[in-house]
């Protein structure tokens, strides 16, 4: 929906809603923790999550699901 509440795109009873899934490249728990250790890997992921959540809040997005090393988000 746009800022006035109208659907951006409508196909019958479905409405298109933009979504994104930002993810840390190469951050699978095994790979990242092997490279930098457990605590540093947790800090990298915390920083990523904080940045993404801040961007979502600033831009009207909504966190739909946390995927471990990423966040699925949608925008109204």
Radius of gyration of the chain (CA): 16
Q: Where are the domains of the chain?
A: 20-74
**Alpha-carbon gap, residue 48 to 10, rounded angstroms:** 33
The confidence score (pLDDT) of residue 47 equals 92
Give the tokens for residue 71.
Answer: 């966040």
The confidence score (pLDDT) of residue 35 equals 86
The confidence score (pLDDT) of residue 41 equals 87
The confidence score (pLDDT) of residue 71 equals 87
The confidence score (pLDDT) of residue 57 equals 92
Which of 33-60 are b and which e, b meaning 16 or more Cβ less than 10 Å from the residue's Cβ?
A: beeeeeeebeebbeebbeebeeebeeee
The confidence score (pLDDT) of residue 55 equals 92
Task: Give the residues of the chain that fall short of pLDDT 70.
Answer: 1-16, 24-30
The confidence score (pLDDT) of residue 10 equals 54
């Amino acid at each position: 929906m746009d800022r006035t509440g109208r659907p951006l795109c409508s196909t019958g009873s479905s409405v298109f809603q933009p979504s994104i899934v930002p993810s840390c490249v190469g951050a699978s728990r095994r790979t990242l923790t092997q490279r930098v250790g457990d605590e540093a890997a947790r800090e990298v992921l915390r920083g990523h999550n904080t940045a993404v959540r801040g961007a979502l809040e600033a831009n009207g997005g909504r966190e739909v699901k946390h995927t471990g090393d990423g966040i699925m988000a949608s925008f109204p």
